[in-house]
């Protein structure tokens, strides 16, 4: 009659999150699979379990042979005259870091007690050298394949994140371009409403919104115009006026068109209030022009009096000139 081998069971698993109780540890798939294999060996009559040792770690660089539970299992088995039983030595070696597989083999070969491999259903010490070499090669190949798959997955995830961010940036640029096209399409409407005002008056966003709604012109989102949407349209038309080439009847040195700034002409003295250059692109044009030199009046080719104002662009630092109809300014040339 063949005697049953008494063993101390050693179960080892890598986990992503530290288990809070033995119940959580028993729920780990790797632990369940190893324990099921050991219980099958006991049912087949190969081994008799006298004690169990469980070990887990979240550190992928820590192999099973360096765990304190493994050395405790060796001491318990030596004291009881038993062996150590594991579910599959090849799986344990495959889970070890690539640079520590040889260390794990050395620990198995020099172990002071027998090690029972339930998958092979034999002691590790009785496995031929050729079979051991094949097991080590298979473990190394499995480890490298798994590592390459993980790296490939991380690479694809990084590419997906970059595409997502790229789509976000492209969407922002698309919104800006749509707003510019809307401002160009409605520029003549805004200028026509501005021309209806008496001299020295400024077109308010609420008045512009009422006019656009009366003309059945929809907002960028297809609804009715409000104070805020009309204000955004005014600001963007002003910015577009600044970037467009000057008309034929404006002197070559001037820039812009006939939009009335929504602030009264100042006294010509430099204001003490300074606007941050980083926010210049978010502010209306009359805010960007804010600090300029005294006005001067010139006559265009068509005979219209224009007020030319010199200013420094707070965003680019360039020295430019802006021409307005003379009726928009309460100040005349000195």
Given a cut of 90, whether residue 51 has pLDDT beyond it is: yes
Q: CA 256, 257, 263 angle in degrees (round to 5)?
A: 90
| Mean pLDDT within 12-17 | 91
What one-character-per-residue DSSP string does 117-129 give? ETTTTEEGGGS-H
Given a cut of 50, whether residue 140 has pLDDT beyond it is: yes
pLDDT of residue 256: 39
pLDDT of residue 108: 92
If you average pLDDT over every residue of the chain, what do you get?
Answer: 75
pLDDT of residue 202: 83
From the options 3.30.710.10, 3.90.1150.10, 3.30.1490.100, 3.40.50.1390, give the CATH code of 5-127. Answer: 3.40.50.1390
Between 152 and 245, whose confidence is greater? 152
Q: In this structure, is the dihedral angle defined by the CA atoms of residues 250, 253, 256 and 262, taken in order, positive or negative?
A: negative
Given a cut of 90, whether residue 238 has pLDDT beyond it is: no
What is the token pair recorded at 171?
A: 């969407």
pLDDT of residue 179: 85
**List of long-range contacts for 127-133, beta carbons under 8 Å, 24+ apart:** 132/105
pLDDT of residue 178: 85
d(CA 46, CA 3): 9
Task: Using DSSP bridges, classify how beta strands 5-14 and 47-57 pair: parallel, antiparallel or unpaired.
Answer: parallel
| Mean pLDDT within 311-320 | 62
| Mean pLDDT within 42-51 | 91
Given a cut of 50, whether residue 9 has pLDDT beyond it is: yes
Instruction: Give yes or no for a contact between 259 and 238, defined as CB atoms under 8 angstroms apart.
Output: yes
Given a cut of 80, whether residue 268 has pLDDT beyond it is: no
d(CA 206, CA 285): 19
Q: Give the tens place of pLDDT for each residue, 175-224.
A: 888 888 888 888 888 888 888 888 878 888 999 999 999 988 888 888 89
| Mean pLDDT within 288-294 | 37
Each domain of the chain, given as residue ranges in start order, spans 5-127, 246-334
pLDDT of residue 277: 45
Instruction: Grade residue 325 by pLDDT with cuts at 50, 70 and 90.
Output: low
pLDDT of residue 64: 92
């Amino acid at each position: 009659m063949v005697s049953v081998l008494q063993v101390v069971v050693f179960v080892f698993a890598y986990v992503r999150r530290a288990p809070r109780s033995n119940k959580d540890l028993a729920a780990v798939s790797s632990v369940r699979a190893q324990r099921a294999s050991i219980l099958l060996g006991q049912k087949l009559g190969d081994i008799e379990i006298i004690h169990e040792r469980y070990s887990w770690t979240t550190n992928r660089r820590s192999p099973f042979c360096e765990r304190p539970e493994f050395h405790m299992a060796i001491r318990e088995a030596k004291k009881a005259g038993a062996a150590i039983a594991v579910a599959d030595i090849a799986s344990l070696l495959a889970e070890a870091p690539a640079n520590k597989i040889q260390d794990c083999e050395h620990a198995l070969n020099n172990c002071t007690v027998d090690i029972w491999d339930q998958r092979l259903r034999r002691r590790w010490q009785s496995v031929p050298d050729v079979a051991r070499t094949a097991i080590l090669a298979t473990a190394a190949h499995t480890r490298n394949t798994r590592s390459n798959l993980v790296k490939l997955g991380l690479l694809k995830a990084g590419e997906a994140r970059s595409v997502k961010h790229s789509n976000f940036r492209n969407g922002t640029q698309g919104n800006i371009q749509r707003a510019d096209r809307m401002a160009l399409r409605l520029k003549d409407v805004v200028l026509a409403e501005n021309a209806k005002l008496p001299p020295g008056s400024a077109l308010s966003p609420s008045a512009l919104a009422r006019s656009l709604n009366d003309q059945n012109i929809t907002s960028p989102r297809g609804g009715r115009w409000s104070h805020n949407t009309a204000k955004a349209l005014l600001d963007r038309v002003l910015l577009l006026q600044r970037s467009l080439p000057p008309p034929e009847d404006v002197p070559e040195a001037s820039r812009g068109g006939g939009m009335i700034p929504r602030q009264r002409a100042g006294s010509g003295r430099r204001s003490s209030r300074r606007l941050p250059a980083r926010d210049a692109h978010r502010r209306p044009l009359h805010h960007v022009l804010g600090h300029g030199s005294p006005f001067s009046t010139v006559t265009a080719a068509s005979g219209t009096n224009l007020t030319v104002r010199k200013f420094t662009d707070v965003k680019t630092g360039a020295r430019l000139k802006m021409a307005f109809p003379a009726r928009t300014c309460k100040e005349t040339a000195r």
